[in-house]
Amino acid sequence: MKIALIGATGLVGNVMMQVMEEGKYVPLTSVNEFIPAASEKSVGKEISFNNRKYLIHSINEALEKKPDIALFSAGAEVSREWAPRFAEKGCFVIDNSSAWRMNPEIPLVVPEVNPHAITGSQKIIANPNCSTIQMVVVLAPLHRRYGIKRLVISTYQSVTGTGARAVQQLDNERKGISGSRVYPHPIDLNIFPHGGNFLPNGYTTEEMKLEAETHKIMQAPEIRITSTVVRVPVYGGHSESVNVEFSGSFEMDELLKTVSSSKGVVLQDDTDRAVYPMPRYAEGRDEVFVGRIRKDHSVEHGINMWIVADNLRKGAATNALQIAGLLIQRELITA
């Protein structure tokens, strides 16, 4: 089996290689050829993967090698141009950009939630936004059991969600070094309610992604959703405060059992010992952590919860490799 990685030199690309090296979702013994690709400025340079050196290819060179799976993490513009060309060659494309997520013909997949969306008939598969992924992993089992009526979401997103330039800005500010900025304001010792671009309705593109992607993945367009995206001076790990209003009554003990038994979820909720999820301790982990679950006394059938996950792993790389693993398990690709 041949696997290509488009965008191998980026933040997510590096984490994808790390997750692949661990061999948990795609057995390394099944990968006969690894094809790293990146922009023209990186072509011909060396990159390390699984204790070997590989030359970085151009995207066209990667296409000519006819991979079985192409992991795309090079931005929406690249994905819109190249993903269909790989798909035409019979390659499954797992795309981490926003290019295809809301296309009704393209499956938008979180393996713990909607693996049935992968049928093999559509070669392009979209990886959702990092904030959406961690939230629906927790919410989907609750929606199936109780029926979610409304969500009020506030996210606290790390700088790695923006990319390497944002990490450099935070580093520079902490060291007192002047340099280029990707954000409109300082990020060190600061937070701002601005993720993505502002839209005419007053929301940002990141906020509207949460709404649209949640509806699509959970197949629940009836859920009312409102959100605020906040950027915080944290290197890795996104956090979310989520207020959930259900359609009917629930028992808290039963609800907690539903959460703790959900696939890919770790319940960390012992306030007597100050145990709750934090991005510092979610970093490098594939699970989604949830805690501070408590009844919302302002509505009849509501709860509040705090959800944390590593945005580069479960929010991007791990989810993509889980999708690749499903393709292999279902023998849509022979490994």
Annotated catalytic residue 130: yes
Spatial distance between the Cα atoms of 312 and 10, rounded to a whole number of angstroms: 11
Q: Which residue out of 57, 91, 130, 143 is catalytically annotated?
A: 130
Q: What angle, 0 to 180 degrees and rounded to 10, lies between the N-to-C axes of helices 252-260 and 130-146?
A: 130
Q: State the Cα–Cα distance between residues 318 and 20, nearest whole angstrom.
A: 9
48: burial class by Cβ within 10 Å (0-12, 13-18, 19+)? exposed
Please say whether the beta carbons of 306 and 291 come within 8 A. yes
Strands 2-6 and 33-37: parallel
Catalytic site residue from 57, 91, 143, 238: 238
Compute CA distances 300 → 142, 150, 234, 256, 294, whole Å.
16, 12, 35, 18, 13
CA distance 203 to 165: 24
How far apart, in Å, are the Cα atoms of 285 and each of 156, 170, 276, 281, 312? 18, 23, 15, 8, 10
Backbone dihedral angles phi then psi of residue 323, each to the nearest 5 degrees = -65, -45
Output the CA–CA distances (angstroms, integers) from residue 146 to 149, 285, 296, 307, in the order listed: 9, 29, 15, 19
Beta partners for 228? 154
> Cβ distance 95 to 83 under 8 Å?
yes
Just list the catalytic residues: 130, 238
